[in-house]
Amino acid sequence: MPGVKSWRSVFLVYVQPRVRSMIFLGFSAGLPFLLVFSTLSAWLRDEGVERSVIGFFSWVGVTYSIKIFWAPVIDRVSLPFLTQFLGKRRSWMLLAQLGIVVGLFGMGGLDSHSQLQYIAFFAVWVAFCSATQDVVIDAYRIESVQPEYQGAMAATYVLGYRIALLMAGAGAFYIADYFSWRAAYFVMAISMSVGVITTLCLKEPEHRVLEVEHFPVSHKNILRRISSGFVGAVLDPFVDFFARNGKVGLLILVLIAVYKMSDITMGVMANPFYLDLGFSKKEIAEISKIFGFIMTIVGAALGGMLVVRYGIMRPLLLGAIMVAATNLLFAVLAVSEPDLLLLAGVISADNLSGGIATSVFIAYLSSLTSTAYTATQYALFSSLMTLPAQLLGGFSGVVVDSYGYTIFFIYASTVGLPAIVLVLLLMRYQKLSEAYIQD
């Protein structure tokens, strides 16, 4: 097939230094996440904090969903002193990482009974810095390599992220069991040095420098400067997106909103489903940790190689089909007798398809951004990718209670059909556009 690379050259993409560096940046991004969510909840409950109070801590997660509001600042503002020596992306990355370190040390140094409000403050601070780091790492990843390598960058990022989740989850539990929760958070803060060292060793990527209009300083120009800054930081990224994509931009945004819907909808009820089948927490943890982790990494790596070999659209279609299809395997599990081998097989298939879909979809989103507004546009895409799916996922329990697990998993699979149709429409549009250009 002309234009198709050999599998050997495809595999060698993973030896490129910038591709390998994403393992460490992925680790730095994944480490704070559980420390302000499930690990923090476990710490507080273990210390006897009321469940109602612990529930309020879940609002910390809103920080990750609203990062679009300060992403334009990251795109446009240079940091004094740091930017001069590190460049715009690395300076923001380092600042965010140091903020996470300070926040984790702060949380570890507090008493959960008498200083709970300060723990909440530091949790919000860590989440804010972590979301900021996510924005900068996404921008760095997109600007570092060409679109065909974005799948591989995403795959190595997922590997590092998953390793960090294991450390911030199971690792923190082990440390807390042998020493204390405070010690666990201190160790996690020190572990962020992986990200700090990586940032200092990286090479700043090339990106377009936005031209900022300057006005003479006077009272009558203040409003003009504010409006100009708002247009440049917030509106221009959206105008740029539709200028490059035209009417098909709306179709692309709808695809972004629905692509992960099937996966997220099913994921909400996965653990309750395993427990209701009669599997023990230990069995679920071991199978998810071993098979889930391995197959996610294999799927992400395979997705990255498929993008290099075949481009983005065909692997994107494959990911959408596989995610919808594997949800039907859960329907089979729901009508079968509890069997650990079957559970392992279903979890393996689900995580393999999820890994492929995730790395390919990240590559697709990366290809849509302009280097002039990388951070802002990707933050918009990532928010649009998760928010509608999370809202729909909130009704998962209602569907299960009303119709049972079998119907729910068929429903979760059906939710994935719009993504398949939209990818096919975009592939047809792309083919027609290429034929028009050739003519």
- At 288 the pLDDT is 74
pLDDT band at 4 (very low <50, low <70, confident <90, very high): low
CA nearest 92: which of 104, 79, 76? 79
Under a CB-based contact definition with an 8 Å cutoff, are residues 133 and 93 in contact? yes
Q: Which amino acid appears at position 183 of this protein? A: A
Residue 365 clears pLDDT 60, i.e. is over it? yes
Under a CB-based contact definition with an 8 Å cutoff, are residues 171 and 53 in contact? no
- At 376 the pLDDT is 77
Highest mean pLDDT among 20-29, 43-52, 139-148: 20-29
Kindly state the tokens that stand for 168: 């911030």
Residue 244 clears pLDDT 90, i.e. is over it? no
pLDDT band at 166 (very low <50, low <70, confident <90, very high): confident
Percent of the chain with pLDDT over 70: 86
246: three-class secondary structure by DSSP: coil
Residue 369 clears pLDDT 70, i.e. is over it? yes
Residue 22 CA neighbour count, 13 Å, CB half: 31
Q: How many CB atoms lie within 10 A of CB 116?
A: 16
pTM, entire model: 0.75
Q: Of 25-29, 81-85, 290-294, which gets the smallest average pLDDT?
A: 290-294
Which of the pair, 214 or 170, is modelled with greater confidence? 170
Residue 224 clears pLDDT 50, i.e. is over it? yes
Q: Which amino acid appears at position 350 of this protein? A: D
Kindly state the tokens that stand for 97: 């990482």
- At 91 the pLDDT is 95
Q: Which amino acid appears at position 373 of this protein? A: Y
Give Cα 428 to chain centroid, integer Å: 28
Task: Using alpha carbons, list the distances in angstroms from residue 246 to 191, 240, 354, 375, 434.
Answer: 45, 10, 30, 21, 16
Which domains are seen in the chain, by residue range? Answer: 7-201 (1.20.1250.20), 247-438 (1.20.1250.20)
- At 266 the pLDDT is 80
Alpha carbon dihedral 107, 111, 114, 117, in 10-degree steps, equals: 10
- At 323 the pLDDT is 92
Q: What are phi and psi of 144, to 5 degrees?
A: -80, -35
Q: What is the mean pLDDT of residues 375-380?
A: 77
Whole-angstrom distance, CA of residue 202 vs CA of residue 21: 8
Under a CB-based contact definition with an 8 Å cutoff, are residues 25 and 347 in contact? no
- At 260 the pLDDT is 86
- At 7 the pLDDT is 67
pLDDT band at 394 (very low <50, low <70, confident <90, very high): low
